[in-house]
Structure 1
Amino acid sequence: MSKRILICDDSGIARKQLSRILPSEWDAQVEFANNGQEAVDHIGQHPVDLLFLDLNMPVMDGYQTLEALKSIANPPKVIVVSGDIQAQALERVKALGAIDFLKKPVDSAVLVAALEAHHLMGMEHAEGGLILGDVVEDFSLSQCLQEVSNVSMGRAASVLADMLNVFVKLPVPKVNILEVSELQMALSYGAMNNGRCSAVTQGFVGAGIAMEALLIFSDSSFPDMAKLLNVTEKIDRDMEIELLMDVSSVLIGPFIKALGDQLNIDFSHSHPVVMGQHIKVADLINVKRAQWKRTLAVEIVYEVENYKISCDLMMLFTEDSLPVLEHLLSYLVEED
C-alpha cells in the first residue's frame, strides 16, 4: 500500500533537497508544508503515514508541531530533519514522540537506513514509484544562503551547548542585502536593542569570497556567562574580553567550518579583534562604516534558555562575493 508522506520545512531548498534523495522506487505519495501549522492542518484533513519535520520554523516550530500532533487521532510517525544537532534537541523531540532524528543535510544512505529501520520502506513497489507533489523550482541567492547558514548555525550552537551544558534557542537566519544605514537599523531592532554591547570581529577569505564575522554580545550577558563557565574572580574588563573571545571562537569557528564544508572551501582567517566594549550599536557600526557600505548580511541571534545570555552573529559578505556565492550555492537546486 502506498505511503503518504508529508515534508514540513520553511525552506524550499530543504524541501527540495530531501524530496530528491527519497528512494525513487519507493511506493509513496509526497506532499509539502511550509511550517508546522500547515502540517497540522494538512494532517487534520488528510491521512499521513510519515512526517519529515524541521525544527526551526516561523508560525509553528517543530517542537510545537510535535505537541500539537498529540491531540490528533491517528497521527503520523515523525522523523525530525534539522540543522539543530544539540543533544538536548534530540532528547526533546524523542520525548515528544519523534521516532528518529536526522541531521541536515541528509545523506541518502542514512535516510534509507532510517526508513528500513522503522519498517517504512516495504518490499512491494508501485509501478510509478515515488510521486511528488508540487516542488518550487526557482530559488534566490538569499534562500540558498539561508539554508546553508541554518546548518552552520546548528553546528555552532551544538558546540556552545556542549561547552556550557545548556540549550541554545535558535532562530530562522535572516539574509538581506543591506546598506550600512540599514544594517544599523537591523541591529538596533534586534536582540541588542537594550543597553550596551561588546563585539568581536574576524575576517575570512577563500575561493573568491570575502566576509567578516561580527559577534555582538549583550553586556547584560556577562554575569550568567561567567557563572556557566565557573568563573569565580571579579569580572573586570580583561575578564570580559576573555569571555568574549571564548564565545566568539565557539560560535564563529564552527559556523565557518560548517559553511566551508558545504561550499567545499577552506577559509583562511585573520586574528579575532575586539571591536568595542560597552558601546551602543550605532557607535559599533560607525567604527567600520567606510569599509562596509553595502553588504550581504546573514544575521543569527543566539539565546541561551533560562539564562540572560544573548548574542548577535552577523556574517557580512562583500558585494564582490555575491557572484561567486551564487555559483557555489547552485548545487543546492541543480537537478540530478
Structure 2
Amino acid sequence: MRLPILICDDSNMARKQMARSLPLGWDVEITLATNGQEGLDAIKAGKGDIVFLDLNMPVMDGYEVLEAIQKQDLPALVIVVSGDIQPQAYERVKQLGALDFINKPTSKEKITDILHKYGIVNPEQLAAIKNPPAQYIGNDELATLKSTVDDSNNVDITPYRDSYQEVANVAMGRAANLLARMIGTFIHLPIPNVNMLETSELHMALSSIEDNESMSAVCQGFIGAGVSGEALLLFRDSAFTNMAQLMGFKGELDDHGQLEVLMDVANILIGAYLKAISEQLDMNLAQGQPVVLGQHLSISELITRNTSRWQRTLAIEINYQIESFDIKCDLLILITEDSLTTLNNKVGYLFDEEA
C-alpha cells in the first residue's frame, strides 16, 4: 500500500518543486492542496500520513492547520516547508506539533536528510527500488510546465507569475528574519502580491494602502545585467515611536530622528530582500543611494510628487506587520518592463534546473 503524502502550498511552483524533491523510489501516493483548508480536509480523508506544509497560505494558513491537527488529534506527521525563517516561526510550529522545519527553497538533499533523520524512510529500502512510481514523477505535467517556461521570447509574466511569487516569498522571509532578529520580535508575513501594472494601476495600488495616516517613504534604485528597478518602502508615521524603541534608537525623535529610523529599516528590508532575489536568480544587483520621497505625507501626495518616476512595471507588494506593536510598513519592488525578458529567462532557468 502506497504511503499517503500531502503537499500543502498555495504556490504551484512550490508544490511541483516539493514533489520533485521527494526521494526517488519512495512508494507514495501524493495529494496536492492549494490552501490550509484543502489540506486539512485531505488529512481528515486519510490522504496525509506525512504532510509537507507551507505557512503563508490563503483561507487557512499553516499555523491554523497545525492547531487543528493538534486540537483534533489527527494522525499526521507534519514537516513545515516555508520561506519564513524567523526563529519565532520555528519555535511556534514545533510547539504546535510539527515534526521539523525546512527552509525554502527545498531540495532533494534537504528532504531526504529529514526523512532519514526521523526514520520515515531508510537508504537501503530506497536503493532496492530501481524504478520510481509514475504517480510521483508526473512526467507529462512537468513537461508541459517546462515547455511554457522555456518560451524566452515571451515578455508577458503570466506563465511565470507563480514562479515570481515563490521567489518573492522566499526573499520576503529572509528580509523579515533579519529585521526580526534585530528587533527581537515576530513579524507577520502576508502572501506577496505580484502583478504587472500600468502606471495608472500602480497609482491605484499605492492609493489602496492609504488608511487616513500620514506616511514617510524612501526609494532605492537597483540595477543588474538586463534588470533595473526601484525598491520603495512606505512607513506609517504613527509607527515611528515603537520602531525607534525596538531598534534601540536613543536620539530625539524629530524629523531627523525619524528619517534615521526610516533609513535603518529600509536598509535592512530592501538590502536583505534584493540579496535574496540575487541569490535565487544567480545575478548581481547593485544598489543605488536611498532617496527620501517624502515625510509626513498622504499617499496621494506621495504619488503626485513622484508620478513621473513610475511607468509600466512588474510590482511585488509586501506588507510587514510587527506582532504586538502598531507597526506596519509596505515594501514594493518595482521592476521595469524592459527587464522582463532577462527575468523570465532567469526564473525559467531556475524552474528548469530544479526539474
Query: Distance between the aligned counterparts of 1:66 and 1:26, measured in 2?
Result: 25
The C-alpha deviation readout for 1:167-186, integer Å capped at 9, x for no partner, is 00000000111122222221
1:25: which partner in 2? 25
Query: Distance between the aligned counterparts of 2:64 and 2:137, measured in 1?
Result: 25
Aligned identity (percent) is 47
C-alpha displacement of 1:232: 4.1
1:242: which partner in 2? 260
C-alpha displacement of 1:233: 3.8
TM norm structure 1: 0.95
Tell me: CA distance 1:73–1:90, structure 2 relative to 1, closer, same or farther (3 Å): closer
CA contact (8 A) 1:151 1:258 kept: yes
In structure 2, stretches of 5+ residues that fail to align are: 150-158
* Correspondent of 1:202 among 211, 217, 220: 220
Query: Distance between the aligned counterparts of 1:115 and 1:181, measured in 2?
Result: 49
Single out whichever of 119-128 and 197-206 deviates more from structure 2: 119-128
* Correspondent of 2:316 among 282, 298, 315: 298
2:125: which partner in 1? 124
2:136 counterpart letter in structure 1: L
2:231: which partner in 1? 213
2:185: which partner in 1? 166
Q: 1:209-288 to 2 correspondence within 5 Å?
A: 209-288=227-306
Query: Distance between the aligned counterparts of 2:280 and 2:336, measured in 1?
Result: 19
Query: Distance between the aligned counterparts of 2:257 and 2:327, measured in 1?
Result: 16
Query: Distance between the aligned counterparts of 1:175 and 1:27, measured in 2?
Result: 36
SS of 1:57's partner is coil
Query: Distance between the aligned counterparts of 1:23 and 1:38, measured in 2?
Result: 24
CA contact (8 A) 2:9 2:15 kept: yes
CA contact (8 A) 2:50 2:76 kept: yes
1:6: which partner in 2? 6
Correspondence 1:312 to 2:316? no
* Correspondent of 2:164 among 125, 134, 145: 145
CA contact (8 A) 1:211 1:316 kept: yes
The C-alpha deviation readout for 1:196-218, integer Å capped at 9, x for no partner, is 10011011011200110000111
CA contact (8 A) 1:44 1:72 kept: no
C-alpha displacement of 1:141: 2.2
C-alpha displacement of 1:286: 2.3
TM norm structure 2: 0.90
1:110: which partner in 2? 110
Query: Distance between the aligned counterparts of 1:285 and 1:265, measured in 2?
Result: 31
C-alpha displacement of 1:275: 1.1
Single out whichever of 24-33 and 313-322 deviates more from structure 2: 24-33
Query: Distance between the aligned counterparts of 1:100 and 1:54, measured in 2?
Result: 12
Tell me: CA distance 1:324–1:295, structure 2 relative to 1, closer, same or farther (3 Å): same
CA contact (8 A) 2:293 2:306 kept: no
CA RMSD of aligned residues (A): 1.8
Runs ≥4 in structure 1, deviation > 4 angstroms? 125-128, 133-136
The C-alpha deviation readout for 1:259-281, integer Å capped at 9, x for no partner, is 00011011112111111100111
CA contact (8 A) 1:81 1:101 kept: yes
In structure 1, stretches of 5+ residues that fail to align are: none
CA contact (8 A) 2:235 2:329 kept: yes
Query: Distance between the aligned counterparts of 2:42 and 2:93, measured in 1?
Result: 21
1:65: which partner in 2? 65
1:145 counterpart letter in structure 2: Y
C-alpha displacement of 1:106: 1.2
